[in-house]
Homo-oligomer: A and B are copies of this chain.
Amino acid sequence: MAKTPSSGLYVIKIGGQVIDDPAACETFLHDFAALPGLKILVHGGGKLATRIGERLGIASKYVQGRRITDDAALELVTMVYGGLINKQLVARLQALGCPAIGLTGADMNAMRAVKRPVKELDYGWVGDLSAEGIRVEAFETLLESGQVPVLAPLTHDGQGHLLNTNADTIASSVAVALAAHYEVQLVFCFDQKGVLRDPHDPDSVIPRIRPDDVQHLLQEGALRDGILPKLENAFAACRAGVKQVIIGHARALSALAEQALPAPSAVGTIICL
């Protein structure tokens, strides 16, 4: 089953803002379906869970600004992330000729996490995932039979409980775990064209960032709050074997299909070592 690491694999994460916008989602799914080669889609949750939770009388609980996943919230995200969103994405992808299969971490024991330990705060049914929790054989079996895994942001603990897990973490963990077997490009699609030099200019995409660039960009004031942890996670993924990380707009995905190594800025910001 082992592949030469030269087989390319895209791990592509879309966030809630794509899920929440039917037109943007449809465009994205067309581009994703058209992307050649091996690929995995990881989706976030979006606002749907909050909206359906409100109708069910399940309020989103926050303590010290952190979202808490109690029993009711876990049932809600299991329904919405694992059922509604995941299965609708899979059905749409099938219609576009993309042989998708939707998974949570419990399916095939693909992603096993650890329930976040209770310290100052009890986050409830939240799972902390790392690359060690990814069962590589499950992904190999599916990828090599031509399937395209579509991952909901849910893991399990192996004790019978599902766990709410950050979709960015799932994407990174899967990318790192599969990097020994495939040449992995990890793509985060969000609502900007990439990492911006000037936050007020949506076209000021920084085409490429290497570790040595960070100090200079910080001095320039180019890196907004919040982007530095993302960069550090991206460098960590690259140090763990991921070929490169791309942060870009969902609409730019089609540029990826056009060439093996896309031109910087056409797809967003490329982060590599």
Binding site for B on A (CB under 8 A): 52, 55-57, 75, 78-84, 86-88, 90-92, 94-96, 99-104, 106-109, 141, 145, 147, 154, 156, 158-162
Contact = CB atoms under 8 A, between A and B. Distances in A.
Given A94-B156, A156-B94, A162 B87 contact: yes
Given A87-B154, A90-B104, A95-B158, 17 more contacts: A52-B56, A52-B79, A75-B84, A78-B84, A82-B82, A82-B84, A83-B83, A87-B107, A87-B162, A90-B106, A91-B104, A94-B109, A95-B160, A100-B107, A101-B108, A102-B107, A108-B147
Given A56-B55, A159-B95, A107 B90 contact: yes
- Which 3 pairs from chain A and chain B are nearest by CB? A83-B83, A95-B160, A79-B79
A248 to B, nearest CB: 26
Nearest to A150: B107
Nearest to A92: B160
A146 to B, nearest CB: 9
B161 A91 contact: yes
Contacts of A80: 79, 83
A221 B267 CA distance: 73
A8 to B, nearest CB: 22
A94 B103 CA distance: 14
A260 to B, nearest CB: 28
Contacts of A79: 52, 79-80, 83-84
A39 to B, nearest CB: 15
A2 to B, nearest CB: 15
A75 B75 CA distance: 15
A107 B107 CA distance: 12
A159 B91 CA distance: 8
A84 B87 contact: no
A79 B158 CA distance: 22
A156 B158 CA distance: 30
B145 A91 contact: no
- Identify the interface centre among A82, A88, A106: most chain B CB within 10 Å of its CB: A106
A107 B158 CA distance: 23
A91 B141 contact: no
Given A83-B82, A86-B83, A91 B108 contact: no
24 contacts: A55-B55, A55-B56, A56-B56, A75-B84, A79-B84, A81-B83, A82-B82, A82-B83, A82-B84, A82-B86, A83-B86, A83-B87, A87-B107, A87-B162, A90-B107, A91-B156, A91-B161, A94-B160, A95-B160, A96-B160, A100-B107, A100-B108, A102-B104, A141-B141
